[in-house]
């Protein structure tokens, strides 16, 4: 294993561990201090902290299919972990950061599902948007997924730019 790959794996491990720690810490604080009161208006008409026990998947979907979702989630998490070890050398650090964020969020919520039978949610932007209550792990997954799309777009752009400079058609475009 070369030095660059080793650095990326260390960075990934640090992101995953820090994300899981932050997620579990905020959920513990939520259970300890927010559950007894139910909801707190943090920023009026913008942000509330609201204690919710989510028995479904992301944002409360698939409530009646908990075990199916857990199996699919486990397979997806293992696939994401595998991606960290199989990145080609040309892939940049943004891929590792993105996948690590998705992993940390997925693992954080999986810990809740296995330990409690539900996920603790508490970030409530409903006063501003009509949206589900979510948690830090959900945010890590969404930000990680967005970064992964960005990394893919950046690679696609670089490949097209290089192909145009070399005068050869790119694999991702229409050849113009």
pLDDT in tens, 131-156: 889 999 999 999 999 999 999 899 88
For the chain, what is the HEC assignment? CCHHHHHHHHHHHHHHHHHHHHHHHHHHHHHHHHCCCCEEEEECCCEEEEEEEECCCHHHCCCCCHHHHHHHHHHHHHHHHHHHHHCCCCCCHHHHHHHHHHHHHHHHHHHHHHHHCCEEEEEECCCCCCCCCECHHHHHHHHHHHHHHHHHHHHHHHHHHHHHHHCCCCCCCCCC
The reply to whether 48 belongs to the active site is: no
**Residue 127 C-alpha from the chain's centroid:** 24
pLDDT tens-digit readout, 5-61: 888 889 999 999 999 999 999 999 999 999 999 999 999 889 999 999 988 765 555
How much is the pTM? 0.82
pLDDT tens-digit readout, 63-117: 566 667 678 888 888 888 888 777 665 567 899 999 999 999 999 999 998 899 8
**Residue 120 C-alpha from the chain's centroid:** 16
As a whole number of angstroms, the distance between CA 26 and CA 41 comes to 17
The reply to whether 121 belongs to the active site is: yes
Task: Spot the catalytic one: 23, 48, 121, 124.
Answer: 121
Q: How far is CA 59 from CA 14, 79, 86, 130, 164, in A?
A: 27, 22, 31, 12, 43
């Amino acid at each position: 294993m070369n030095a660059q790959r080793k650095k990326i794996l260390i960075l990934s491990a640090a992101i995953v561990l820090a994300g899981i720690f932050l997620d579990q810490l905020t959920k513990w604080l939520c259970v300890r201090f927010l559950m007894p009161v139910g909801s707190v208006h943090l920023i009026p008409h913008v942000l509330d902290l609201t204690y919710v026990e989510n028995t479904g998947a992301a944002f409360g979907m698939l409530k009646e299919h908990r075990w199916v979702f857990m199996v699919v989630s486990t397979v997806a998490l293992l696939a994401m972990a595998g991606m960290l070890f199989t990145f080609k050398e040309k892939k940049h650090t943004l891929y590792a950061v993105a996948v690590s964020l998705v992993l940390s969020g997925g693992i954080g919520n999986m810990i809740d599902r296995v330990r409690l039978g539900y996920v603790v949610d508490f970030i409530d932007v409903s006063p501003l948007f009509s949206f589900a209550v979510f948690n830090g792990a959900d945010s890590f997954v969404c930000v990680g997924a967005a970064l992964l799309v960005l990394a893919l777009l950046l690679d696609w752009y670089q490949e097209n730019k290089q192909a145009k400079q070399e005068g050869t058609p790119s694999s991702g475009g229409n050849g113009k």
